[in-house]
Structures are given as C-alpha cells and as structure tokens.
Structure 1
Amino acid sequence: MTDCESAAAAAGPQLVRDLLDQFEGEVGPQDFGLTFRLYPGRLRDGAAGGYSDGPVFGYRDEVAVYPASTSKSFYLVAFQHWVETGRLQPDAEDLRALSAMIRQSSNDATTYLFGRMTGTTPGGPLPEAEMAAWWDRRQEIQRFFEGWAWPDFARLRLWHSTYEDSPYGREKAARAHGGNLIAPRAAAALLHGIAAGQLVSPEACGRMMDLLDREPERDPAVLGPDYRDQVRGFLGGGLPRDIRLWSKAGWTSETRHDMAYLETPSGRSAVAAIYTVGPHMAQNDRFLPAFGAKLLELLGR
C-alpha cells in the first residue's frame, strides 16, 4: 500500500460531498452507493490479494440493489468457469451470445446463456414438484459464487436472467422468490479479480477483458444518436479519450449503474462501481460521468 493510494481512499468522503453539492436538488444521499480503489500501476499486470485487501473507499457500497445488466459480468465469469471445467462445451452460438451479452448488453443473449449454464428453459407454468426442481437448477450460478465465500459477496443474489420488458411463465413465477441483488462492493471485487487475472484463469480473464473493453464505443462519431452504448451517460462519459476503459453498465427505468476499470497513460489504474436507484437517477445522464471525472482527478494522469 502506498501513501498515494491511502490518501486517495481518504479523499472519498470529500468526493461524495462534492457530488452531492454539484447535484444539489437533483440527487440525495440515499440515491446512490459507490466504491473505488486506486492502484499505483496497471492492475492488469497482476495484484496480490483481493479488492478489499487494499485501501478501498466505500459509500453505501454494501447496500445491495437490483443490478440491472451489471449482473451479466457475473454470468460472464460463470460461463468461463463452466467452459474451463468442462461443464459446458461451447459452440459458435454460445460464443455469439456471450459477445452480445457483454458488448451490446443483450437480454436475449443473457437468457439463452443463463439457460445453457443452469440446464433450464423458459416456458409455461410447471406442476409444483417440477417447478421446485427447475428452481433448484436455476440457482446453479448463485451456488457457484456462494462457494467462493467472499465477504464482499455476502448480499449477492443471482437468481434470474435479465429481460427486455418482463419475464413470462415459469420465469415470472420464479420472481416470487425475489429479484437479483448486487452491492457496489461486490461488483468492484469481481472486476478487480478479472482485471488482475485472478478469476478462473489468466487466459479466461484476458478473454473477459476483451469483451469488457469499451474502446469501440468511445468515439461518438461512429455511433448513431440512438445507439445504446455503455459509455455516454455512464462512468466513462466523464473520462478523456486517452484513458482506457473496461466496463459493464446497467440501466432500467429505475436504475443507472456502472462498474469500470480504467488506466491512465502514465500507468495508474482504478476500479470503481456506482449504483443509483430511482426514476430520477435512471434519467440523469450527468451524474455517473461526473463521478468518473472526479475519480480521475484523484487518480491523476
């Protein structure tokens, strides 16, 4: 741990105060949770220990909320583990869906892969005993992460796929158990592990980082005005073009989230996650970029 890292973490409370002052009247103290950790070098070069083993700042970062599409980063890790342990022999369609799930945040692709990994399929209602067996299989991904026994994952709940408008049939019935939940700390801990090459295998982490790379979406000139990218309106929207960015955003009518790893030209890096709740936060496309800009001020160039 360096003095610079510790000082940056200590500056976190002021960063939160500055954000609340900047968005006074628009954003309240209960409307968001965030966490970040700064590194003196490139986290991609490797790190000893996990996210919480260093100087981390957190603000309401253990409050678990509906994660929207940030859950797909967890499904990405699970998919790589399934493949490397032989539980799933991926074909071209699986890989096409994996790319769409992360790069375009496709809900259809996510539902397809969730079913592939859990051995379940969508459809109409089932008799009680069959539904219980279906629900048990549906929790395979949840059990996988519970097996890690990470304190950062204490409130993690990954029971469902994501949907374009609503689940139907047995998938809707399964929502009686509750929805997905992720806290910012859990999202940041996962991304730290991916960027540092610690999860599944270094080779698998490299593949995951390739999918999380937002470089193709950093140039608005090549994107249509209605293209739903994961940079504009999110954490990366507050970063200069020479800052490298890997991320996974989530956005619904009630949420706007992002989890991101970034690197400066000098080689410094950071992991951050920010989750916001409420229709007013979902519509606010300036708050997350403002956090990204303030994070970069602490990190330096």
Structure 2
Amino acid sequence: MLPSRVTLVDVGPRDGLQNEKQPVATEHKVALVQALQAAGLREIEVTSYVSPKWVPQMADNAAVMNAIPRPAGVRHSVLVPNMIGFNAMLAAGPQARPDEIVVFGAASQAFSQRNINCSIEESIERFAPVVAAAREAGLKVRSAISCALGCPYQGEVTPDEVEHVVKLMKEIGVQHCGIADTIGVGTPRRAQAVIERALKHFPMHEVSGHFHDTYGQALANIYACLEIGLHTFDTSVAGLGGCPYAKGATGNVATEDVVFMLNGLGIETGIDLDRLVQAGGAISDVLGRAPVSRAGKALLTKQGKVFAA
C-alpha cells in the first residue's frame, strides 16, 4: 500500500547549484529558497559550509542563511563535512542557524578514496565530532550515503556494503539515513533492496531516498520505494544538478516531475505544482537554460513560455 503523504526535501539550492560553473548571485539563491517555500516546500537544503577553494559556488553560505526568510514550519538544512565547517556555521550567527546538518559518506571504498582521500572508516571518524557537536547544539543530523547503487570507479556496490555504512552512521549518532544513487544506475528492485537494509537500523520516518535520473530510472525507483512504504525523498527543483560522472547526463530527479507523479497517484505533498514550476522556471532563466524537469518544461510551454530548440 502506497503512503498517503510524502515529504520532499528540495536540495536544489545546495546540491543543485553547487556544480554550476557560472556564479549565481546570493540574491538569486535567496529568491529560490523563498519561491520554494511559497510553493509549499517544508524541507529545503540551502547551502554547505565547505572550503570555497573547492566549492566556490557555496562561498556565500552565511550570507544566504542570514538573508532567507525563516517561516514557522519550514526546516532548513546545510551540509557540514568537518569541524571547520561546523565552526564556520556557528560563526554565521543565530539567524543563520539551520534546523539540521547533513554529513555524507560513500558506500564505495574507491569513491571515498578518490573523493575525500580516505577510507570509509576514516571518513566516519572525521564525522563523529561533527555529529556530537551538532547534537550537543540541539541540531538534528542527517546522513547521505552516496554511491549506494553503483560507483563510477568501483562499479557495482552491494547491499552489504551499503548496510556497513548505515551501521557506522548509526553508531556515531546520526539520526536520519539518506540513501543516494549518486550516478543514477539503480533500478527499482535494487533500490528497494538497499532501502530495506537501511530500514533494519532506522525507522521508516528516518530513511529517505535520493535518486538521480542519469539512466531515466529515478521516477521508477521512487515508485518502487513508495511500494515498500518509504515517504521521504530528496528532489531538486528544475532538475538542478548534473551528474559529474556521466558527461551531459541529468542528475537529481526534478521536484516538478515527482510532484506531478505523486499528484497522479493521489498522494499529498502540500506542494503547489504551479508555483513550483514558476520557481523552476525563474532559476532556469537565471542560469540561461531550460529546466531539466520534463513536467516543468511542459507546463511552462503550455503557459506560453518559449524555449530555444
């Protein structure tokens, strides 16, 4: 039986924009968050406290967090990979304080070594003081386990490997487990299998799916997870965020496409699709391209928007 309500966490402002080559002005990031809130999103991943040397797009993290409206009932999260980032987050001031922080670890040893130059176990040791400090400060901690359905270097990733990282995250005090198909190679039964491993250690309401659409499987994978009762998913407005491991490929599944599907299934999200489509169109205009979202592009075209061929 499918859930009656689904929570979508829009990661467009952070995960979606972080790989954009062209600078995106702080005002446009703030406007995007505001538009998502106006559309009914109640969970938004806003920015990350990482070195501007490695991710220059997020260098204005404190400015964005201090400028976004903070209405009651909306939760804002930020990515914090280490204690340097955590201290920078605290230094941004009380107005910039998020509701939740995110730490990330790979299910693939090869990816961990190539991406952050350490083993999975070493990465967990780095996250442990961040998790402890966040919980001491009263902040919820969410984990994102990347490459849970495949790795660009290792290839296949087994459910056993995923469960190993799930358990490590649980041991250091992480409260929510996100399972991410970073390169979009997952298929429905495999998606169910890894989510079921996470559910052995975290309750259903503290597990989420993060699917990329590189091979066109994201909506199918989300539906398969709905079938086993999962009701929280990461999505990205306008499909922001390409897959850096597959040239020209799409990345994060578009929020508009997921909402369109859920509306068709009679599943509540609390999201106004028309407003969401407008938000996706606005940030796409800033970036000078059409939305990746199929539903978003179709609905904007229906409203008279013209896109270059």
Report if TM-score (shorter chain) is over 0.5.
Answer: no
TM-score normalised per structure 2:
0.31
TM-score normalised per structure 1:
0.31
